[in-house]
Amino acid sequence: MSKARASGRTVGGTRSLSLQAPAVTLLFLWMAVPLAMTLWFSFQRFNLLMPDMTGFAGLENYEYLFTDPALWSAMGTTLVLVGSVLAITVIGGTLLAILFQQEFFGRGVARVLAISPFFVMPTVSALVWKNMMMHPANGVLAWVAELFGLPAVDWFSSLPLTSIIIIVAWQWLPFALLILLTALQSLDDDQVEAARMDGAGPLAVFFYITLPHLKRAISVVIMIEMIFLLTVFAEIFVTTSGGPGLATTNLAYFIYISALLDFDVGMASAGGVVAIILANIVAIFLVRMVAKNLEN
């Protein structure tokens, strides 16, 4: 009987593995082949404008990459962009979640309208902000400034990185709101009422009850957003093209410039390897942080 059970488990396990093998193999190839090609090209001399210059380059691409001031400028821009958007979305999402948790007329419609920007494509969002909101002559912000007798601001020339931060934060704020509002709905109302009966004011309730309750949700928002914000590209491409100068060139756009504008595939591949390492370091740190919060 035990032999039959063991045989059944073996047959069932083998059958399960045989069914999973095609999907696992396809997923492995999907990840491994591009990564292997990126690593291989990063050690090659491969510039499309100079097809005769080929061969093994060793660490030349990496040496040139790390001595290029544009790389460090792009990494600094990336950190500022990611940090600013995270701060705006987490703080704004928390406050909006508390607001939309309250009862008021039209709350359902207001929730739908507040979450809808997350479903707008990045390219469309960038075009709307560029041509309808931030245009120095015909934009909504220019019209508002004119109402108050203030000069119109040419956002993408005078405040380029701030403009990108506003556009990206507008897209990701609804995501933070959705996650935090969902988490807030699981907060025990009896606990809040008991604190209020004990004399706790709104600030005390927020800092000692609401915020600790949202700790896990905030960790999840930070983890997911940071992974995606490291690869922001469409908003920069549509609005500023990385300029003026390198003012809005992040790491993703720097790789694009190296690959498709300078045609230096080896240099771009080296930048891609750096981006992969950076993204994995961030992902490992964030996963551990989320796991720690879940354990607590």
Per-chain mean pLDDT for the chain: 86
Report d(CA 228, CA 164) in Å as an integer. 15
pLDDT at 236 exceeding the cut of 70: yes
Per-residue pLDDT band for 54 (boundaries 50, 70, 90) equals: confident
Res 295: pLDDT = 65
- Would the pLDDT of 11 be above 70? no
- Could you give the angle at which helices 215-229 and 265-295 cross, rounded to 10 degrees? 180
Tell me the whole-structure pTM to 2 decimals: 0.86
The model's confidence at residue 10, banded by pLDDT at 50, 70 and 90, is low
Comparing CA positions, the residue from 221, 236, 231, 237 lying closest to residue 276 is 231
Q: How many CB atoms lie within 10 A of CB 7?
A: 10
Q: Say yes or no to pLDDT of 4 above 50.
A: no
- Give the position of tokens 């912000």: 141
Dump pLDDT digits (tens) for 168-194.
999 999 999 999 999 998 888 788 888
For position 195, what pLDDT does the model report? 82
Give the pLDDT of residue 73.
Answer: 94
Between 97 and 202, whose confidence is greater? 97
Q: How confident is the model at residue 106 (pLDDT cuts 50, 70, 90)?
A: confident
pLDDT at site 108: 86
Give percent of the chain above pLDDT 90.
38
Which residue type does 227 have?
A: I
Whole-number pLDDT of residue 1: 46
Q: Is residue 3 pLDDT above 70, yes or no?
A: no
